[in-house]
Amino acid sequence: MRFKEKIAIVTGGSKGLGKVIAKQLVQEGASVVINGRDMRALEKAVQEIKEFGEQVSAIRADVSKSKDVNSMVAQVIKKYERIDILINNAAVFAESVHIMDLEEEEWDRVITTNLKGVFLCSKAVINQMIKQQYGKIVNMTSFTGKTGRVVYSTFGGPTKAHYCASKAGIISLTQSLAYELAPHKINVNGVAAGSVAPEGTSEDKMKMIIPLVPLGRMGTSEDVSAATLFLASDESSFITGEILDVNGGTLMD
């Protein structure tokens, strides 16, 4: 039980990878609070996660709004009197579009949720973690944040520049947070997932990606979750400011 008596927030825990991370944390003894914008989806996720352990609850909060985020964190502190782990997982995806056709509103939508969301959630938990002199923040970034393109982009084709820029920003923010918070025994790391196929990924997309993956298969949410839990655990207590690639060897840097 690596996470016995630990209190964790998993943003974007209502579906996909966040839900898998929340399940595994609960299974390993943590009390977990998930969030998202859709209360019905959150309630459904809580029921599913409860099959792995009772200690899970949900708070509706938009990570791009400081009022929502601060209220969520205040509720968690009121209930548990500490926060040990923050998994900054919530994000929105983007359509492939050339930069010359990328609208300002669409740029703002992606950057505001993906990058500002990580800033707001991290800022909201920091004082509590400093008080504890203990904390683990794990930020979900991506292959795209290191390469400026998606795995299957072609020369001259669209790259999802706004999504890539949001994930690159998260890498830099992870390093800044790690540097500033190290004296308080707070570890801040990132997971750069790539070539993964969460539920619902189309066969066509997988056929494009698999030939680019040295390990010869798509990654699963469980692959990414395992790396995330390692960075959220005390097994990685001498690691901070690291961005761990989980991409089957698609990018080796």
Ligand X SMILES: NC(=O)c1ccc[n+]([C@@H]2O[C@H](COP(=O)([O-])OP(=O)(O)OC[C@H]3O[C@@H](n4cnc5c(N)ncnc54)[C@H](OP(=O)(O)O)[C@@H]3O)[C@@H](O)[C@H]2O)c1
Q: Which residues are catalytic?
A: 163
From the list 60-68, 94-102, 177-185, 237-245, the region that binds ligand X by CB under 6 A is: 60-68
Given candidates 18, 169, 190, 248, which one binds ligand X under the rule CB under 6 A? Answer: 18
Q: How far is the CB of 4 from ligand X (least distance, A)?
A: 26
Q: Which of 243, 91, 250, 95 is nearest to 161 (CA)?
A: 95
Instruction: Give me the residues paired with residue 189 across strands.
Output: 138
Task: Determine the residue with CB nearest ligand X.
Answer: 16
Q: How far is the CB of 13 from ligand X (least distance, A)?
A: 6
Q: Which is nearer to ligand X, 134 or 196 (CB)?
A: 196
Q: Which is nearer to ligand X, 62 or 84 (CB)?
A: 62
What is the spatial distance between Cα 198 and Cα 25, in angstroms, rounded to a whole number?
19
Q: How far is the CB of 162 from ligand X (least distance, A)?
A: 12
Which residues between 27 and 46 bind ligand X (CB under 6 A)?
35-38, 41
From the list 83-91, 129-137, 172-180, 234-242, the region that binds ligand X by CB under 6 A is: 83-91
What is the spatial distance between Cα 246 and Cα 227, in angstroms, rounded to a whole number?
7
- Spatial strand order of the sheet with 135-142 comes to 56-60, 31-36, 7-11, 85-88, 135-142, 186-193, 243-246
How far from chain centre, in Å, is Cα 57? 18
Q: What is the token pair recorded at 142? A: 């991506």
Which residues between 111 and 170 bind ligand X (CB under 6 A)?
113, 140, 142
From the list 15-23, 122-130, 152-160, 178-186, the region that binds ligand X by CB under 6 A is: 15-23
Q: Do residues 89 and 10 lie in contact, with contact meaning Cβ atoms separated by under 8 Å?
A: yes
Q: Which is nearer to ligand X, 27 or 220 (CB)?
A: 220
What is the spatial distance between Cα 65 and Cα 73, in angstroms, rounded to a whole number?
13
Backbone angles phi, psi at 109, to 5 degrees: -60, -45
Q: Do residues 239 and 231 lie in contact, with contact meaning Cβ atoms separated by under 8 Å?
A: yes
Is residue 89 close enough to count as binding ligand X by CB under 6 A? Answer: yes
Q: What is the token pair recorded at 235? A: 């097994």
How far from chain centre, in Å, is Cα 222? 13
Q: How many residues interact with ligand X (rule CB under 6 A)?
A: 26
Q: Do residues 73 and 128 lie in contact, with contact meaning Cβ atoms separated by under 8 Å?
A: yes
- DSSP-derived secondary structure letter, 214: T
Q: How far is the CB of 193 from ligand X (least distance, A)?
A: 4
Q: Which is nearer to ligand X, 94 or 134 (CB)?
A: 94
Three-state secondary-structure class, residue 94:
coil
Is residue 90 close enough to count as binding ligand X by CB under 6 A? Answer: yes
Which residues between 173 and 202 bind ligand X (CB under 6 A)?
193-194, 196, 198
Q: Please give the residue ranges that form the binding site for ligand X (CB under 6 A).
A: 11-12, 14-18, 35-38, 41, 62-64, 89-92, 113, 140, 142, 193-194, 196, 198
